[in-house]
Chains A and B, each alone.
Chain A
Amino acid sequence: EAQVTQNPRYLITVTGKKLTVTCSQNMNHEYMSWYRQDPGLGLRQIYYSMNVEVTDKGDVPEGYKVSRKEKRNFPLILESPSPNQTSLYFCASSSTSGRAEAHEQYFGPGTRLTVT
């Protein structure tokens, strides 16, 4: 089954304790992206990656890191989480064949993060 998986699904942590949220897709997609969803703000893009070793900032990259060492994986790293990073996080992927911008994204189930 074609899917995007995220782990963990739920995470409660404390300020300053480094954490990683994993994302993996089995569709051989080149493009992967992280979003955070907050009430009234919709989804805001954190980082995206066009392919292995190619990453770029979205609209809200501060406080986050990413890496793309393998095509299927795109982990999100919070090196020193703060309470304002409490949010619902989604990973997504899409193909880039042909007109890359035209492809819809496939989303993971989400990771609900609480930072106290």
Chain B
Amino acid sequence: AQSVAQPEDQVNVAEGNPLTVKCTYSVSGNPYLFWYVQYPNRGLQFLLKYITGDNLVKGSYGFEAEFNKSQTSFHLKKPSALVSDSALYFCAVRDDTGGFKTIFGAGTRLFVKA
């Protein structure tokens, strides 16, 4: 069965410092991995995805994520955090076994302090 774990409920970082939001997953087939961001009172917005190929994926707003197959992880990163990055971040997974269910993690709240 598919599953996604975001081990940190909250991540605190100072503006200008690098940030990492962690995600690990479990799927039966090959994974399709996604990161979404939710700002207050808004729907989710797509940030980036891993389908195949290069393990380092670049996305919107300067975010990137590194796919690690051996560790079944897909951590979200940004070299220099902004206060405006403060939001709720969700990791999600699908696999290629023919189903179209999407499993989301519980979410990680990012606080960036000025």
Question: Which residues in A have some Cβ–Cβ distance to B below 8 Å?
Answer: 4, 31, 33, 35, 40-45, 48, 50, 56, 58-59, 90, 92, 99-102, 104-110
Cβ contact within 8 Å between B104 and A42: yes
Say whether B101 contacts A58, CB under 8 Å. Answer: yes
Interface centre among A4, A41, A42, A59 (most CB of B within 10 A): A42
From B36, B51, B102, give the contact of A33 (CB < 8 A): B102
Residue pair B49, A90 in contact (C-beta under 8 Å): no
When distances are taken between beta carbons in the complex, the residues of chain B under 8 Å from A107 are 36, 43-45
Give A31 to B32 CA distance when docked, in angstroms: 16
Task: Give A59 to B103 CA distance when docked, in angstroms.
Answer: 9
The reply on B64 being an interface residue by CB < 8 A is: no
Determine whether B100 belongs to the interface, using a CB cutoff of 8 Å to chain A: yes
Q: Complex formed: what's the CA distance from A99 to B95 in Å?
A: 11
Contact B100 A104 (CB under 8 A): no
Q: How large is the interface on B (under 10, 10 to 19, 20 to 34, 35 or more residues)?
A: 20 to 34
List of B residues within 8 angstroms of A31 by Cβ: 100
* A104:B34 contact, CB within 8 angstroms: yes
Residues of B within 8 A of A90 (CB): 43-44
* B104 engages A102 (CB within 8 Å): no
Are B90 and A43 touching (Cβ within 8 A)?
Answer: yes
**A3, closest chain B residue (CB):** B43
**Contact status A104-B46, CB under 8 Å:** yes
Contact B43 A108 (CB under 8 A): yes
B5 to chain A, nearest CB (A): 10
> In the bound complex, do residue B102 and residue A42 qualify as a contact, i.e. CB atoms below 8 Å apart?
no
Most chain A beta-carbon contacts within 10 A, residue among B32, B36, B44:
B44
10 contacts between A and B (CB under 8 A): A35-B104, A40-B106, A42-B104, A50-B100, A58-B101, A59-B103, A92-B44, A102-B32, A105-B44, A105-B46
